[in-house]
Amino acid sequence: MDGVSKYFDAGETVANYRLDLEVADGEFLVILGPSGCGKTTALRLIAGLETPSEGDIYFDDERVNRRSPSDRNVAMVFQNYALYPHMSVRENIAYPLKIRGIPPDERDRRIEEVTELLHIEGQVDKHPGELSGGQRQRVALARAIVREPSVFLLDEPLSNLDAKLRQEMRSELKRLQDELDITTIYVTHNQEEAMSMADNVVVMYRGTIQQIAPPEELYARPRTAWVARFIGSPPMNLFRGTRRNGAVDLGDAGTVTLDGVVGSDLEADTAAGDVSLGVRPEDLFISTDSPTDGNAIEGTVDTVEPLGEYALVNVSVNDQLVTVKVSDAGVERDDRVYLTFGDDDAYLYDENGELLTRTASAKTT
């Protein structure tokens, strides 16, 4: 996709704006973002179900802006499966082959292969209404795979499944993609799906691409404050403050000294201005005892959320809720507590939300 934009309502509604995206052959790419961010429209543009208002789309260096979906050799799996209820499983899978004029013997061979691959060979004579949600999803995948497409497009394909089945199908989809080596573009709002399955993740917001990176890099180095807040569960904490001479002044909450700036885009370490200091919930420590050297951010416990192997403690700091992830809370609502930074990275974002620096460590004073 080269500078691709899509407008609706005579240009009043911007679904996608200047998307630049390259997907490698055999890559598993996930487009991640909240509802209404334009990710499904981007997928429909790639499929040929929508035409770009601006920009160009290429398959193997050939411009395909005006090509129909059938001419692009793509297969799409939708959220609602889109199976024909009056047809058997075998007939549903065979349908795209039948309309392309594939001979019956070849159709039977492909159907046998794909149903074995997806472990639904015993369901081929049933109708969709007789199948579970997971089985219907497998039939939809089989119908797409049997066409032997060059690009596999999936739009929220697991959202109608329960949590356990979603996890099983994630593993199954990744296994299939590895075995078939089909270029795959997968749309979801679910972070777990994106981070566990993708080779690269495209994070979208308000029709624009915020960042493209492998899952590990996306978590370790979010390029904007919005991505930092969106990626991670719970998301990164962002303290509002002012940068002065290598430190961030948080007002009544204290001052954070930055030790060892990494990958700085600043011209000078003494640059001043409004900033946001980001730190992951697992990189904060909480105590009811004030450190002897006074190096802590003070706050009051708002809520405690026990979640089994860990707990989330939400602390009110200067009318802002800060989340701390701990193995054992040891505190209760309304307790006065003190937060200190661990040795892992903290992040500094400018007033526009762009990443300024990643610090080797941060120390409260």
Confidence label for 270 from pLDDT (cuts 50, 70 and 90): very low
pTM of the model: 0.87
DSSP string, 294-313: ---EEEEEEEEEE-SS-EEE
Instruction: Count Cβ neighbours within 10 Å for each residue of 15-49 and write b for 16 or more, e otherwise.
Output: bbbebebebeeebbbbbbbeeebbbbbbbbbbbbe
pLDDT in tens, 163-205: 888 888 888 889 889 988 999 999 999 999 999 999 999 999 9
Distances (CA, A) of 329 to 9, 83, 137, 326, 342: 52, 49, 41, 6, 17
Confidence label for 261 from pLDDT (cuts 50, 70 and 90): very low
Contact yes or no for 201/39 (Cβ under 8 A):
no
Question: Which letter does DSSP use for residue 289 in this model?
Answer: S
Confidence label for 93 from pLDDT (cuts 50, 70 and 90): very high
Residue 127 has pLDDT above 50, yes or no: yes
Q: Which pLDDT score is estimated for 268?
A: 45
> End-to-end CA distance of the chain, in Å?
48
Q: What are the start-end ranges of the E strands in 48-206?
A: 54-56, 58-59, 62-63, 74-77, 151-155, 183-188, 200-205
Confidence label for 316 from pLDDT (cuts 50, 70 and 90): very high
Bridging pattern class, strands 151-155 and 183-188: parallel
255 C-beta neighbours (distance < 10 Å), count:
17
Tokens standing for residue 31: 């487009």
Across the beta sheet with 200-205, the strand order is 74-77, 151-155, 183-188, 28-32, 200-205, 208-213
| Minimum mean pLDDT range among 7-11, 34-38, 185-189 | 7-11
Percent of the chain with pLDDT over 90: 60
Percent of the chain with pLDDT over 70: 92
Confidence label for 358 from pLDDT (cuts 50, 70 and 90): confident
Average pLDDT, the chain: 88
Question: Which letter does DSSP use for residue 221 in this model?
Answer: -
Confidence label for 361 from pLDDT (cuts 50, 70 and 90): low
Q: Which pLDDT score is estimated for 346?
A: 83
Confidence label for 256 from pLDDT (cuts 50, 70 and 90): confident
80 C-beta neighbours (distance < 10 Å), count:
12
Q: Which amino acid is at 18?
A: R
CA distance 92 to 83: 7
Contact yes or no for 18/207 (Cβ under 8 A):
no
Find, among 287, 272, 273, the residue nearest to 328 by Cα. 287
Q: Which pLDDT score is estimated for 259?
A: 65
Q: Which pLDDT score is estimated for 115?
A: 92
Which CATH fold would you assign to the domain 2-226? Rossmann fold (3.40.50)
Segments making up each domain of the chain, as ranges? 2-226, 235-364
Residue with tokens 């001479």: 245
Number of helices and strands in the chain (H, E): 9, 22
Q: Which pLDDT score is estimated for 266?
A: 43
Beta partners for 255? 249
pLDDT in tens, 279-306: 999 989 999 988 766 567 889 999 999 9
Residue with tokens 């490698």: 24
| Minimum mean pLDDT range among 80-94, 261-275, 332-346 | 261-275
Q: Three-state SS string across 143-181, please? A: HHHCCCCCEEEEECCCCCCCHHHHHHHHHHHHHHHHHHC
| Minimum mean pLDDT range among 57-66, 90-99, 295-304, 305-314 | 295-304
Domain 235-364, CATH 2.60.40.10 — does that match? no
